[in-house]
Structure 1
């Protein structure tokens, strides 16, 4: 690839991270081209479909998600691994609306985000079983509770941009505390029925 073509490709990917990160997956390709300072023909020469652009745009976040799952399983303390996985997912979702949208929905069909989501949720389920055996995860937790948390977390996109990461961390701290087993009293408030999400 010629150096000007490499530069164009890099500018397109930088613009795509910004555009999809701010506006989500519904952002048009022409906006990516405009922000990259290239014409539509140049954009489509490098990325013939929106799906191929999204796959490349979020490749780093997908790798980070796989690493978060791997690190959580490698932690000898299941409760700490469970917490770190929630924090890792939260961090990825806080920094890119587009990645959060791709992770939480079936769009775009050509990407393997559904497989990533299923792999991550299976990992959460296994970590939850391990953490429950240590007595540190509250009884009644189900994986759909994490999905519910992520759905609620997406609402933080309406918080001013400068406060989103801080709000995200605080939200996760509350959620992790809610997942924690009650202190030695052992008294738990009953949970409402878990919805299938």
Structure 2
């Protein structure tokens, strides 16, 4: 994850055009970092009070530094989704289409597994606020899938729309049927899914006995 400076700069809007005070920027930096952590742990339902408490500031400071809780959460999530889009851009330039897809898939599933808020956002919990980000991400996945298929590295009997569901399934919950998932359960899930996406080949005929 990158440092929250991008989100801070987007939120530091001073209509007078004056440079914000150093303490104002420090408070906003703390709020943005606290929001990233809280969104990851709790999801988009986190409260302003919880973020302010985590940042070590009062709720009054929270609302002086950010326009609203919704704007803060959307800005933080937009920045995180921009980071995964950058991974997709680099993956599309990988000379090995399958390797590029695997790198993207691992980053995408890790993010879903480690951030409740990202999973919420990818599921549409933020409504239209991040609609363009989600549309861009769909296009990234389509291009990566079709590029891998064109290279013969991914089975051709799936459509790209299958892949987001498969990757979402890899980001498992903490428990199922009373079984506790390991910290790296998502990696095991992803390896199985990636194996299933490879082209199928008929086994070689066994020599006659």
Task: Please state which band the TM-score falls in when normalised by the shorter chain.
Answer: 0.7 to 0.9
Uncovered stretches (5+) of structure 1, i.e. residues with no partner: 187-197
TM-score calculated relative to the size of structure 1: 0.80
1:121–1:143 CA contact under 8 A, matched in 2: no
Conserved in 2, the CA contact under 8 Å of 1:100 and 1:154? no
Who is 1:115 aligned against?
Answer: 132
RMSD: 2.6
Distance 1:157 1:41, change over 3 A: farther
Structure 2 residue aligned with 1:51 = 70
1:133 corresponds, among 150, 173, 180, to 150
State the partner residue of 1:10: 29
Runs of 5+ unmatched residues, structure 2: 1-19, 205-209
Q: Residue in 2 aligned with 1:189?
A: none
Instruction: Kindly report structure 1 stretches of 4+ aligned residues shifted beyond 3 Å.
Output: 157-164, 183-186
Q: Which of 99, 108, 117 is 1:80 aligned to?
A: 99
Distance 1:116 1:185, change over 3 A: farther
Query: d(CA) in 2 for partners of 1:154 and 1:90?
Result: 6
Look up the match of 1:29.
48
- Residue of structure 1 equivalent to 2:110: 91
1:100 is matched with: 119
User: Match of 1:139, SS?
Assistant: coil
Paired residues, number = 183
8 Å CA contact 2:78–2:133 kept in 1: the answer is no
- Asked if the contact 2:94/2:100 (under 8 Å) is kept, the reply is yes
Given that residues 51 and 108 in structure 1 are in contact (C-alpha distance below 8 angstroms), is that contact kept between their aligned partners in structure 2?
A: no
Give distance in 2, aligned partners of 1:161 and 1:24: 21
